[in-house]
Amino acid sequence: MAFIKARLTVNSDLLRVLFSECFVLSYRHAYHAGNHADLLKHLILVRCLRYLRRKEKPLCYVDTHAAAGGYSLLADEPQKRCEYQSGIEKIWQQDDLPESVADYRNLVAEYNPQNSLSRYPGSPWLAAKILSKQDTLWLHELHANEAENLKTTFNHDRRIKVVEGDGYQGAVALMPPPQRRGLILIDPSYEIKSDYQQVVETLQKLHSRFATGVFALWYPVVERQRIDRLEKALRCSGIQRINLYELSIKPDHSDYGMTGSGMIIINPPWGLQQEMPQALPYLARQLGEADSGHYRIETLVGE
């Protein structure tokens, strides 16, 4: 019986990877680089890593879905829909940014040495920039070209390991990290609908092996019911200390595509809860279309 169950598990994992390989061939993060969803995700990632870095001890960073690591906004893909105009461009030259948002914007500025916005960093670049030389970064990417880009970009950085393969399985296999301190970013594109279930299952596995880790899960607001179900699944997961931060630039509507996005943080570092009440209302005002920007800050599960 156990043998049959094991075979079924292996086969369903294999099927999911094969299935997702077919889909991810069509997804390129370059089309979306710097949009409002990247802004929220990277702001929160940067602030979590800053808080974790305040202690001297070594850290482990795991990116389950790393993509290319950085993008030229002048390339054909970002220029197709110019999504960065709904995100980073709206705060790029603001001089009244809340401190946390200024910290994120200044890092993006470092990625643009010419002082004009022509490049946008991905999560791997931001993490590599903040973490120190004693830290380790594991970057997973299923798409061969994107994995190759990561290898080229971070070739000389000995802290960084690029893994071409499934990030869900890769992250679980790394837990608990030897450093016993770390952040795991789970950032799928959700083009495969099973991702909504997969992220919860993966978080449960990760958390059962590394209960003190900081876990950051990004999600898009495309269909509100899917997010309601995701929240419910996490509330029932048995995991504690779960906060949610969401930013939308227009009202929920299933015909508009992605109207907003959110980050769910398990074991949020001290300080994030203090600074998001300044950052998110500011961003809702600055990025919202026709005054319809809005945000949520919620505790999904307390202590």
CB of 143 to ligand SAM, least distance (A): 4
- Distance between CA atoms of residues 186 and 266, nearest Å: 12
CB of 240 to ligand SAM, least distance (A): 26
Compute the half-sphere exposure of residue 120: CA atoms within 13 Å on the CB side of its CA: 27
Task: List 72's β-bridge partners, or say none.
Answer: 119
Q: 151 or 251, CB closer to ligand SAM?
A: 151
Interface pattern 31-60 for ligand SAM (x via CB under 6 A): ----------x-------------------
Of 93-132, which residues contact ligand SAM (CB under 6 A)?
122-123
CB atoms within 10 A of CB 41: 24
Secondary structure (DSSP) of 52-85:
HHTSSS--EEEESS-TTSEEETTSHHHHHH-GGG
Q: 83 or 141, CB closer to ligand SAM?
A: 141
Q: 78 or 122, CB closer to ligand SAM?
A: 122
> Which positions are catalytic?
187
Q: CA 190, 163, 18, 176 torsion: positive or negative?
A: negative
Stretch that binds ligand SAM, among 19-27, 243-251, 261-269, 280-288 (CB under 6 A): 19-27
Of 129-168, which residues contact ligand SAM (CB under 6 A)?
140-143, 146, 166-168
Number of amino acids touching ligand SAM (CB under 6 A): 22
- Distance between CA atoms of residues 194 and 60, nearest Å: 27
> Among 87, 98, 188, 260, which residue interacts with ligand SAM (rule: CB under 6 A)?
188
Cβ–Cβ under 8 Å, residues 185 and 214: no
Cβ–Cβ under 8 Å, residues 143 and 17: no
Q: CA 15, 19, 20, 22 torsion: positive or negative?
A: positive
Closest CA to 137 of 162, 155, 116, 118: 162
Interface pattern 56-85 for ligand SAM (x via CB under 6 A): -------x-xxx------------------
Q: 165 or 238, CB closer to ligand SAM?
A: 165
Q: 89 or 166, CB closer to ligand SAM?
A: 166
- Where on the chain is the footprint of ligand SAM (CB under 6 A)? 20, 24, 27, 29, 41, 63, 65-67, 122-123, 140-143, 146, 166-168, 187-189
